[in-house]
A = this chain, B = another copy of it.
């Protein structure tokens, strides 16, 4: 498959394509035009065509895109079937919300274990995922390597735990804390979920509205 340089902005839109195409596919829609796809995603038809052209020619003039084919291609580009594994650190409210409600498997990740510093939480299961004491993190990861670590811990614990994860071979940190970790994680990729940034952006946008 043709694969040109892909900008960060395009990569960030691919999951939205994937999600939308999964819905269309689930509704047995067989093909979709770039303008219909754009309407569903709040993008222009020409932006859709441009985005998807980075990854080769999926569309056909006057016919549109084959939904299921495009969905599978994007899944492949996103690496959804590469058998990623994950561990989660911090089983407070947010960690529990993810454990209980977020479908890691649907997005190609197997969440094998959760860790917490509270001794009473070690040994329990949350939504079928075993919780261990964080002191056993390195031992666990040496036996059961993980591709990513999900950080849902208090901000003050974020840097140390991120570094421990990276030293244990984790390649990516899914960071839910408000700590900037980029400078602390060596070669690992850090993907931040900063709720505050999102809310501040929304605040800006509603302030600018007429």
Contacts and interface: CB of A to CB of B under 8 A. Distances in A.
Contact of A203 (B80, B92, B201): B80
Interface stretch (A9-17, A62-70, A117-125): A9-17
A202 B189 contact: yes
Nearest to A77: B204
A205 B10 CA distance: 13
Contacts of A102: 195-196
A128 interface: no
Contacts of A78: 200, 203-204, 207
Contact of A172 (B98, B148, B206): B206
Interface stretch (A25-33, A34-42, A45-53, A132-140): A34-42
Interface in A104-132: 104, 106-109
A189 B205 CA distance: 7
A5 to B, nearest CB: 11
A36 to B, nearest CB: 11
A41 B204 CA distance: 20
Interface string A170-210: 01101000101011000101010111111111111111110
A171 B19 contact: no
17 contacts: A11-B201, A18-B200, A19-B178, A41-B180, A42-B180, A79-B206, A79-B207, A79-B208, A93-B101, A94-B94, A102-B195, A107-B199, A109-B199, A174-B198, A189-B202, A191-B199, A193-B198
Interface of A: 9, 11-12, 14-16, 18-20, 39-42, 77-80, 82, 84, 92-94, 96-98, 100-102, 104, 106-109, 147-148, 171-172, 174, 178, 180, 182-183, 187, 189, 191, 193-209
Given A92-B97, A193-B195, 7 more contacts: A14-B200, A78-B207, A94-B101, A106-B196, A147-B206, A171-B209, A172-B206
